[in-house]
Structure 1
């Protein structure tokens, strides 16, 4: 999966307790290296914690190699939850006697993310709801999971850093997660959209600056895009119309492609619930 870095900048002088990445179900961490020595490192409540003395504005980083994998399970409590609103799931499971914990970490897009652990299994009501409304939400990670995966599993594109009792507990203080090394996709995206801007000003650049970005996008998202197309073609067509219109702007603008994209964009957001097929498990 590659090398990653977590970064924290102190807002004021003091001691900070930060969770360190460790081997857990769905993730393997090796080559852990800190940019500064910790006062102490210890385990507590299945977390690996390190305490750092930092001055105002001082930065600490931890670098590591990460391998992740999807988690899939069909716990018996899944059927109970499907009859209830997602926001009530943690309370229902706690009432039934299950051990419910809050889990904090990052999606590998670099976005901080929080979910739950129920008897150690993931429960992610937020992504369950989000993917029902927009099945392309995780395409930037190269995955397109079914929403019901998040009742006992996850997509395998996340880093778990801290688990705390629920309700209560504190969030981890790490502010950023980034891959180490050169990432071609952001560079190619910037080049592609710069060419669009120049073309929109009347200086046609041709497709040559946009095509490399499109190729990199297909390599990263192609298999996931195919899965989405089989479930809800209109969400994929929205993306196709956008890129077709963008390419036309660099050569010979085709307004009908732009109007097609706009129509699909509005349809997909005004009728988000239609993204989930009626025969899918979450509506069974």
Structure 2
């Protein structure tokens, strides 16, 4: 059903990012066959997330996403109980730097691309039912006629949004453990971040080191930094006949000797896992927006 509507869904998501929220409201009401409560910002956002939830239900673990999304407000209210001023300062910082808005829009931009990739993602979805499958293995099943090159940039883009979403996770983690969103644990290193702004510039693979006793559980298969680096630096090769990907994750000067391999199916599974992780954290962005609108009484 959704496969036939992917162009319409993509257009609606892009329309939300435009400058005419009332046009989006009119179009999304028609698509959802349901009226939004009002034209207020919170209800426009409700229309967006009803659209996203319905459209991407086949790609996610519905019960897990529901539990996680409903838990985010509890975290925020817990932090508000501890020190509401500090939490407000954190959210104000995210809003004033436009970081929150940009992360939201960057994430939304990738949803239509995931819909367009649904055909080669279908076998990866069925691996949910294979208890013996281990991420990163070698599964030589042909996925589709689509090629690795068509989706490696999508994987890289999803990883980049995850990289930026980690900044919000870190800010909340610092508030939980140290009461200051800029306060990172002292690991005795020279390059310790002294602020959330510093942390944002840390490479993706090193960010996890600074999330001590993190409140958010990350799927390790979704944050394969070696694969991401290899793709980002054009150090990956693809054999169309076997669908085998060969990539070189480490710096080796002019030589490329220490190769790693995976089949296209395994790669699409990693793409799916990364998208799911991004989707979990997109709900966190949504929750912070609602806190800002309904509790702080601020629009942007």
Give the TM interval when normalised to the shorter protein.
under 0.3
Q: Which has the higher strand share?
A: 1
| Bigger Rg, which one | 1
Higher relative CO (Cα under 8 Å, sequence separation at least 6) belongs to 2
Instruction: Pick the structure with more helix per residue.
Output: 2
TM-score scaled by length of structure 1: 0.27
